[in-house]
């Protein structure tokens, strides 16, 4: 790990100002994504701007037809939130199955979303639920947020402050987890929303993606059998030591069916 200067701002405005003024600066939230990258020297920031002194970014609120979760809310806080459990139980369950207790108590929603790991769980929730990422300067629809492998629509100094999740009629998440890391080899969230059925897949490709064919079939009939004969082409899926692209294509169908069975 290369040397860096650590900053501890007390306001979001100050944090953004520090990153804006330093080309090599990065935000530090829970550190569960960033610190491993630093240890492997895959990133060499000149400055780290800690967000630990910004408690206003940890709030979780339910109002009207949406739940808004602050960027610094930990996975554990999301999983144990009564507001989240009442409004979107599938999201609370998803958060409770991320990593292990140590990761869940340190990792944050905003850090995970900004890191955009292709095997992370939250991206599937954002895309399936039609969430909106709120930053210090604008709002970005989930459909436009994840742009590529570890890439998002965020500007270099843009700070995620919250994510707003519309409350669905029902939703569920099916996940086939890596044996050690608990990242998703394949994770599928199915959501019956006010805007229609949405199906999002994480872990299978270079970024989270929706499956229009599954969405159309489940719109016609919300039943696992509606997906019979439907598959996702393996050509664009990941293939590694844990699972081939063909196996991941099979898992997408299996996890989608399990999610439909679990809809609540």
Distant-in-sequence, close-in-space partners of 2: CB < 8 Å, separation ≥ 6: 38, 41, 44
Q: Which residues belong to CATH 3.30.390.50 in the chain? A: 170-261
Closest by CA position to 231, among listed 258, 202, 261, 251:
251
**In angstroms, rounded to a whole number, what is the distance separating the alpha carbons of residues 90 and 258?**
13
Backbone angles phi, psi at 260, to 5 degrees: -60, -40
Beta strands (DSSP E) in 96-205 are 132-135, 139-141, 146-148, 151-152, 160-166, 170-177, 184-193, 196-202
**In angstroms, rounded to a whole number, what is the distance separating the alpha carbons of residues 128 and 190?**
6
Reading the block at residue 235, the tokens are 């050509």
| Residue appearing with tokens 């590529």 | 148
What burial letters (b/e) apply to 166-184, b meaning 16+ CB within 10 Å? bbbeebbbbbbbeeeebbb
Strand order in the sheet with 25-28: 5-7, 47-50, 25-28
Mean pLDDT of successive 10-residue segments in the chain (264 residues)? 92 97 95 86 91 96 97 98 98 97 96 96 98 98 97 97 98 95 96 98 97 98 97 95 96 98 88
- CATH number for the region 170-261 comes to 3.30.390.50
Q: Indicate the CATH number of 1-48 among 3.30.43, 3.90.550, 3.40.50, 1.10.3470.
A: 3.30.43
Distant-in-sequence, close-in-space partners of 216: CB < 8 Å, separation ≥ 6: none
**So what's the pLDDT on residue 171?**
98
**So what's the pLDDT on residue 88?**
98
Q: Which residues belong to CATH 3.30.43 in the chain? A: 1-48
Closest by CA position to 32, among listed 122, 92, 93:
122
101-155 pLDDT, tens digit per residue, is 999 999 999 999 999 999 999 999 999 999 999 999 999 999 999 999 999 999 9
**So what's the pLDDT on residue 264?**
62
Kindly report the pTM of this predicted structure: 0.95
């Amino acid at each position: 790990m290369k040397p860096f200067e650590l900053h501890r701002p007390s306001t979001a405005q100050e944090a953004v100002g520090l990153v804006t003024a330093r080309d090599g600066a990065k935000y530090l939230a829970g550190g569960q994504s960033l610190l491993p990258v630093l240890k492997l020297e895959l990133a060499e920031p000149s400055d780290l701007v800690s967000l630990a002194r910004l408690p206003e970014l940890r709030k979780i609120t339910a109002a009207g037809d949406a739940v808004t979760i602050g960027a610094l809310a930990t996975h554990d806080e999301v999983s144990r939130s009564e507001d989240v459990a009442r409004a979107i139980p599938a999201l609370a369950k998803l958060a409770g199955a991320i990593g292990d207790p140590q990761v869940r108590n340190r990792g944050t929603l905003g850090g995970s979303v900004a890191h955009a790991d292709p095997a992370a769980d939250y991206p599937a929730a954002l895309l399936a639920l039609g969430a909106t990422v709120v930053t210090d300067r604008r709002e970005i629809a989930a459909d436009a947020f994840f742009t590529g492998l570890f890439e998002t629509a965020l500007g270099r100094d843009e700070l995620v402050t919250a994510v707003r999740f519309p409350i669905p009629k029902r939703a569920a998440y099916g996940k086939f987890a890596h044996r050690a890391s608990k990242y998703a080899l394949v994770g599928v969230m199915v959501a019956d929303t006010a805007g229609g059925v949405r199906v999002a897949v994480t872990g299978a490709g270079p970024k989270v993606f929706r499956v229009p064919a599954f969405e159309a079939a489940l719109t016609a009939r919300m039943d696992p059998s509606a997906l019979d004969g439907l598959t996702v082409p393996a050509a664009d899926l990941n293939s590694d030591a844990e699972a081939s692209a063909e196996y991941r294509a099979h898992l997408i169908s299996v996890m989608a069916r399990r999610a439909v069975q679990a809809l609540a």
